[in-house]
Chains A and B, each alone.
Chain A
């Protein structure tokens, strides 16, 4: 059972465009929703994170939108650049165990 569902599996965006990646979760005990960025041959790195008491968080060109009632959250990358080409993972944690559970990842390619 996939606790965190992520889509799309892959995404191609033109330079300067907006990249949007979506995630949905089931466990209402989750209270922390991070996004990680991974380049080939490297470990994932924390990009941006949100808690359910806010509906949006922005850091530079990266924005998380959070919809608590729908149990969905998304990552928006504005003015996408070729250097943003990477795999992006959403994740969620919370509840008694606080395990961090990941989505299946989105491979983003930004074409120049």
Chain B
């Protein structure tokens, strides 16, 4: 099992550009989430999903879109990148039954200039 795979690992964007951060898991997990990590702010929830076709907003959803067309994939789209979106982004997944432990990907470091 590869676990949770995030691509790319690093990305530099210009202000106003759009891009999609990819996340895929091969554990048949129902729940998937996107977090951003900033110094002193911890991990803040952007969007999450409890299954294919179901998504909801987290703590900091503005400027980001998600969709969940399959169980395996949960891409995060930046519509018009801003310097405030410079961060490390983590995708995570877990089973929807019993075990609440999330498995995290290795992250995408995004810089918006």
- Is chain B found bound to chain A in the same assembly? yes
Q: Are B50 and A98 in contact (CB under 8 A)?
A: yes
Shortest Cβ distance from residue A13 to the other chain B in the assembled complex, whole angstroms: 21
Contact for B45 among A32, A34, A99, CB less than 8 A: A99
Whether the Cβ atoms of B43 and A44 lie closer than 8 Å is: yes
What are the interface flags for A65-105 relative to B under an 8 Å C-beta threshold, 1 for contact and 0 otherwise?
Answer: 00000000000000000000000010101000111111111
Report yes or no: B33 in contact with A100, Cβ–Cβ below 8 A. Answer: yes
Closest to A93 in B: B100
* Complexed CA–CA distance, A105 and B37 (Å): 10
Distance to closest chain A CB from B12 (angstroms): 18
Known contacts: A43-B105, A44-B104, A46-B102. The answer to whether A104 contacts B40 by CB under 8 A is yes
Report chain A residues within 8 Å CB of B100. Answer: 32, 34, 49, 93, 98, 100
A91 surroundings in chain B (CB, below 8 A): 43
| A45, B104: Cβ atoms closer than 8 Å | yes
B35 and A102 contacting across the interface, CB-CB below 8 Å: yes
CA gap between A9 and B44 in the complex, in Å? 16
Do residues A100 and B104 form an inter-chain contact, with CB atoms below 8 A? no
Nearest B-chain residue to A101, judged by Cβ? B45
A97-B56, A101-B59, A102-B35 are known contacts. Are A89 and B43 too (CB-CB below 8 A)?
yes
- B53 CB within 8 Å of chain A: no
| Interface residues as binary, B39-55 with A (CB distance below 8 Å gives 1, 0 otherwise) | 01111110010100000
Q: Whole-angstrom distance from the CB of B16 to the nearest CB of chain A?
A: 29
Residues of A within 8 A of B103 (CB): 46
Q: Which residues of B lie under 8 Å from residue A97 when comparing CB positions?
A: 56
User: Which residues on the B side are within 8 Å of A103 (C-beta)?
Assistant: 42
Decide yes or no whether A6 CB sits under 8 A from chain B. yes
Q: Is A42 in contact with chain B by the CB < 8 A criterion?
A: yes
In this complex, what residue of A is CB-closest to B3? Answer: A43
- Does the CB pair B102–A104 fall under 8 Å? no
For B33, the chain A residues whose CB sits under 8 A away are: 99-100
- Point out residues on A near B: beta carbons under 8 Å: 6, 9, 32, 34, 41-46, 49, 89, 91, 93, 97-105
